[in-house]
Amino acid sequence: MHPMLNIAVRAARNAGKILLRAGEDLSKVEVQQKGANDLVTNIDKEAEAVIRDTILQSYPTHSIVGEELGEHKGKDADYQWIVDPIDGTTNFIKGIPHYAISIALKVKGRLDQAVIYDPIRGELFTASKGQGAQLNSKRLRVSKTTVLAGTVLATGFPFKNKHHMDTYTEAFKALFVHTADIRRAGCSALDMAYVAAGRVDGFFEIGLKPWHSAAGELMVKEAGGMVVDFAGGNNYNHSGNIICGAPKLTQAIIREIRPVLSESLLR
């Protein structure tokens, strides 16, 4: 295992212990409203602090961007860690056992290492650039499906971008009529990890932040998949609008939804 991936795994496992311990008594979890339909807990902050400390103990000059604690500007800007301490916070708060810790590392602006850790199931998804993606050390490959017929897709509702709801609904309908089913589980990091593992065939969502998708992006690509924005380009890090899956299936998703999308979602 790459030494920096090893540290990311250690950080994720350390945070996972905090989540599991807190999950035993959710009445003690302090919940705050961060924004419209956007919740944060004391556990998010505690887990991110542990991740940050674990990384900086080994790499004190590196930079870190986290969902809750913001940016730590290290002396070496070539190395930037991107952290989501609980992707699926609402699930966590409600006691729904489906959430994950997401950690990615960019080296000179390019994704290099990724970890998505599901502490409930003990599933550790990892990826290193050029070395493939693994689940608990077993190699992952995306689904071989090339057409929408019979597929199971994952999605996320635009709960922070409800002004896109009508357009999203049209896109959902355009896909749903062709698929076997579409799942919405509330954790985009695991959605993308499941695409990498071939558990779901594809995934699409509006308005993700880099800490939600960075680790999943590398995971999908290293498992042989494609990650694009709604126009089929590479602007997803800015727009947050993501489609991923096996290359031919991803193109099929684009073809179906593009005619119903608003101009703002095609940028």
Q: Does residue 220 share a domain with residue 107?
A: no
Query: Annotated binding site, which residues?
Result: 67, 84, 86-87
Q: What is the dihedral of CA 123, 128, 133, 134, to 10 degrees?
A: -40
Q: Does residue 60 share a domain with residue 176?
A: no
Residue 53 covered by a domain: yes
Residue 145 covered by a domain: no
Query: Annotated binding site for Mg(2+), which residues?
Result: 67, 84, 86-87
37 pLDDT above the threshold of 70: no
> Domain tally for the chain?
2
Q: Does residue 245 share a domain with residue 161?
A: yes
Q: Does residue 174 share a domain with residue 95?
A: no
Q: What is the pTM of this model?
A: 0.96
pLDDT (average), residues 131-148 = 97
The pLDDT tens digits of the residues spanning 14-36 come to 999 999 999 999 999 999 987 76
Whole-number percent of the chain with pLDDT over 90: 89
Q: DSSP assignment of the chain, as one string?
A: --HHHHHHHHHHHHHHHHHHHHHT-GGG--EEEEETTEEEEHHHHHHHHHHHHHHHHH-TTEEEEETTTEEE--SEEEEEEEEEEEETHHHHHHT-S--EEEEEEEETTEEEEEEEEETTTTEEEEEETTTEEEETTEE-------SSTT-EEEEE--TT-GGGHHHHHHHHHHHHTTSSEEE--S-HHHHHHHHHTTSSSEEEESS--HHHHHHHHHHHHHTT-EEE-TTSSSTHHHH--EEEESHHHHHHHHHHHGGG--GGGG-
Distance between CA atoms of 63 and 52, rounded to whole angstroms?
Answer: 10
158 pLDDT above the threshold of 80: yes
Q: At what angle do helices 165-176 and 247-257 cross, to 10 degrees?
A: 120
* Domain of residue 254, CATH code: 3.40.190.80
Q: Does residue 44 share a domain with residue 158?
A: no
- Cα–Cα distances in Å, from 202 out to 66, 195, 197? 26, 6, 11
Q: Does residue 129 share a domain with residue 30?
A: yes
Residue 146 covered by a domain: no
Q: Does residue 124 share a domain with residue 189?
A: no
Q: Does residue 72 share a domain with residue 122?
A: yes
Q: Does residue 191 share a domain with residue 129?
A: no
In which domain, by residue range, is 85 found? Answer: 3-139
Residue 239 covered by a domain: yes
Residue 147 covered by a domain: no
262 pLDDT above the threshold of 90: no
* Domain of residue 31, CATH code: 3.30.540.10
Q: Of the residues 114, 139, 164, which one is the last residue of a structural domain?
A: 139
Mean pLDDT of the chain: 95
Q: Does residue 106 share a domain with residue 44?
A: yes
Q: Does residue 109 share a domain with residue 189?
A: no
The pLDDT tens digits of the residues spanning 170-216 come to 999 999 999 999 999 999 999 999 999 999 999 999 999 999 999 99
The pLDDT tens digits of the residues spanning 59-103 come to 999 999 998 988 999 999 999 999 999 999 999 999 999 999 999
267 pLDDT above the threshold of 80: no
Q: Of the residues 93, 111, 139, which one is the last residue of a structural domain?
A: 139
Residue 144 covered by a domain: no
- In the prediction, which pLDDT does 121 show? 98
For 20, residues 6+ apart whose C-beta sits below 8 A from its C-beta are: 119, 120
- Quickly state the pLDDT bin for 160 (edges 50, 70, 90): confident
> Side chain identity at 80, as an amino acid letter?
Q
Q: 168, 156 in Cβ contact below 8 A?
A: no
- Bigger pLDDT: 88 or 263? 88
Q: Of the residues 86, 107, 139, which one is the last residue of a structural domain?
A: 139
41 pLDDT above the threshold of 90: no
- Quickly state the pLDDT bin for 259 (edges 50, 70, 90): very high
Q: Does residue 161 share a domain with residue 128?
A: no
